[in-house]
Amino acid sequence: MDLSGLEWIGHASFLLRIGKRRLYIDPFNLDSTHGRADLILITHPHFDHLSAGDIGKIADEKTQVFVPQDSVSKVQVGSVTGVRPGARYEALGIGFSTLPAYNVVRERLDKHPRENGWVGYVIGEGRESVYHAGDTDLIDEMRGLKVGTALLPMSGTYTMDVGQAIEATRAIGADRYIPMHYKQVLGKEGSEKAEELFRSRVKKAVFLKEVQEARYSF
């Protein structure tokens, strides 16, 4: 995918423009500049990923919303479909698949348990595909994955930290690796250090400008 069609709204929230379609992943803290969604993909039900208020800003009765099975009832607008890990889906001519997203590091096993069935998404095929990992540690299901763009969390605390994110780039074959889900957790100084380390270790690192950053307190 041409990165001109990918916008990092903030945290783990992205907008993908695919032809005339607008696909949002984990829409959160949206402002008035963000228009209607044709398709919304939700990775898991934590408030900063499944925000009913933000979904309501961009969805109508024709919007297709995909959300883990345990969270279907939490979305009250649009046509809602429950998803499970390891499955293939299609909506509005856009194909995507789900991968598991869960913690394996002992101190955060309770944050995103594997048995909850929460997910990441691979949207599209081959070098045009985008992998949004969701809230996860480095997991076996990432190994051997081939995508065009990989969106990887690196905050630690709730997800893999920057060191593990760097290791994830060795497990995943991608044309570009884009960090996400770290600025609001790490703050300005921590984010800058994480970015510097990631950039120094990952040749295919790409850093997008985060639309929400202008609204941060730091």
Domain ranges of the chain: 3-212
In this prediction the pTM is 0.96
| pLDDT > 80? residue 214 | no
State the average pLDDT over residues 120-140.
Answer: 96
pLDDT per residue as tens digits for the range 13-59: 999 999 999 999 999 999 878 899 999 999 999 999 999 999 999 99
Q: For the residues of 179-210, what is the DSSP string, one character each? A: EES-HHHHHHHHHHHHHHHHHHH-TTB--PPP
pLDDT per residue as tens digits for the range 52-61: 999 999 999 9
pLDDT per residue as tens digits for the range 160-188: 999 999 999 999 999 999 999 999 999 99
How far the first Cα of the chain sits from its last, in Å, is 32
Query: What CATH superfamily is the domain 3-212?
Result: Ribonuclease Z/Hydroxyacylglutathione hydrolase-like (3.60.15.10)
